[in-house]
Amino acid sequence: MIDAHHLPNEIPGEQVVYFLRRHPITISNLIIGFGAMLVAPFAVFGILYAFMPEVVRDARLFPLIVIGGSIFFLFAWLFLFQAFIDYYLDMWIVTNKRILDIEQTGLFNRRVSELRLYRIQDVTATVNGALHTVFNYGNVEIQTAGEKERFDFEDVPNPNQVAKVVMQLAELDRKEHLDEAVEEFGVPDKMPKPTVK
């Protein structure tokens, strides 16, 4: 399991700032769909009981209805849980040293990417659409100097706040890793250049 106090490859002095997942509203369609599937066996049984009671009372047909309905329910329940796991295991962990992007695709595919904060060049928050605006969720795009040039947080709550905090953390981390940052981005204009006498 991922322990909030002991992240994988922990860096000394590292503290978790954000645990981010997609906004729960993004899986509402899925939950409504699977919820309807879970209710379906009971609804069919209710309809049969109301309009065709002889089928329900038939000693041979009733076991078939129960067994068929139970299998349908169990697999709908399993697929609902798998869809939830797919959502729940996708997360972005922001610490004061780095960002971890954990992506679960299906049951057996998992990708973990890591980005050190001092490598961040630019952070952009976008909130597009009425639903996104009402529920205040959107994307945070992080431009990096690494091989993987972009790092995206998709449909996270409070994207503007997250972008602001990530930028502040990146600034602080850059000061701690000045040598690496200068090597990565070059010498900033404000920095006094050495003079030769």
Q: Which residues bind another protein (CB under 8 A)?
A: 1-4, 19, 52, 54-55, 58-61, 63-64, 66-67, 70-71, 73-75, 77-78, 81-82, 84-85, 88-89, 91, 102, 104, 107-108, 110
Shortest approach of another protein to residue 108 CB, angstroms? 8
CB of 4 to another protein, least distance (A): 7
Q: Strand runs (DSSP E) across 60-136, as ranges?
A: 91-95, 98-105, 109-116, 120-126
Contact assessment for residue 140 and residue 166, using Cβ atoms and an 8 Å cutoff:
yes
- Tokens matching residue 114: 């890591």
Q: Closer CB to another protein, residue 71 or residue 131?
A: 71
User: What is the spatial order of strands in the sheet that 137-144 belongs to?
Assistant: 120-126, 137-144, 150-157
- Asked if 73 and 38 count as a contact pair (C-beta separation under 8 A), the reply is yes
Distance of closest approach, residue 135 Cβ to another protein, in angstroms:
20
> Is the distance from CB of 30 to CB of 19 less than 8 angstroms?
no
Minimum CB distance to another protein smaller for 63 or for 129: 63
Cβ within 8 Å of residue 1, ≥6 positions away = none
Which CB sits closer to another protein, 40 or 102?
A: 102
Residue given tokens 């972009």 in the structure block: 150
Beta carbon of residue 196, minimum distance to another protein (angstroms, whole number): 55
Nearer to another protein, 61 or 145 (CB): 61
CB of 89 to another protein, least distance (A): 5
* Residue (of 189, 131, 125) closest to 161 by Cα position: 125
118 close to 170: Cβ distance less than 8 angstroms: yes
Give whichever of 58 and 122 is closer to another protein, judged by the CB atom. Answer: 58
- Alpha-carbon distance of 157 to 197, in angstroms, equals 55
Q: How far is the CB of 63 from another protein (least distance, A)?
A: 5
Cβ distance to another protein smaller for residue 42 or 185 = 42
